[in-house]
Copies of this chain bind each other. A is one copy, B any other.
Amino acid sequence: MFRTEFTIEWGDCDEAGVVFYPNYFYWFDCTFQRLLRDRGLNQRELKRRFSAVTPLVEVGAKFRAPASYDDVLRVEAHVEAWETKRFRMMYKLSVEDRLVAEGFEVRAWANIDASGRMSGRPVEEAFKSLMQ
């Protein structure tokens, strides 16, 4: 389980005083990037080492309780499932003991060729090992 946290900022909330919901996906993505970094990777390193990118295929979230300005959002993330050409990230966001949101990202493993065309490929074992 990878853990990180974010402080909810003034600009992240809407007129109703709660998080404007697209920001939850920004935090999912940030968490994924931080997890990569924690494993010695990042988007550029993925390209250099594996010639790979991880485009989003599907995402979703359930909102359990509101969160607002100054709350510290604790995030737990892990790879829930590896399929041949894609993997599923799970995210759980809490403020203190309150579950705020749960969500997922399905990301593909893809190569970009010289002409810029992307094509799905089986996820590299070396990447799987690093992310476990």
Contact = CB atoms under 8 A, between A and B. Distances in A.
A60 B63 contact: no
A62 interface: yes
Interface in A63-89: 63, 66, 68-70
Contacts of A118: 66
Contacts of A56: 21, 63
Given A22-B29, A23-B22, A33-B10, A61 B59 contact: yes
One complex includes copies of this chain to the number of 4
A15 B10 contact: yes
A62 B57 contact: yes
Interface string A20-55: 111101100110011001000011100000000101
A34 B9 CA distance: 9
A122 interface: no
Given A14-B13, A15-B10, A15-B13, A21 B66 contact: no
Interface of A: 7, 9-11, 13-18, 20-23, 25-26, 29-30, 33-34, 37, 42-44, 53, 55-63, 66, 68-70, 118
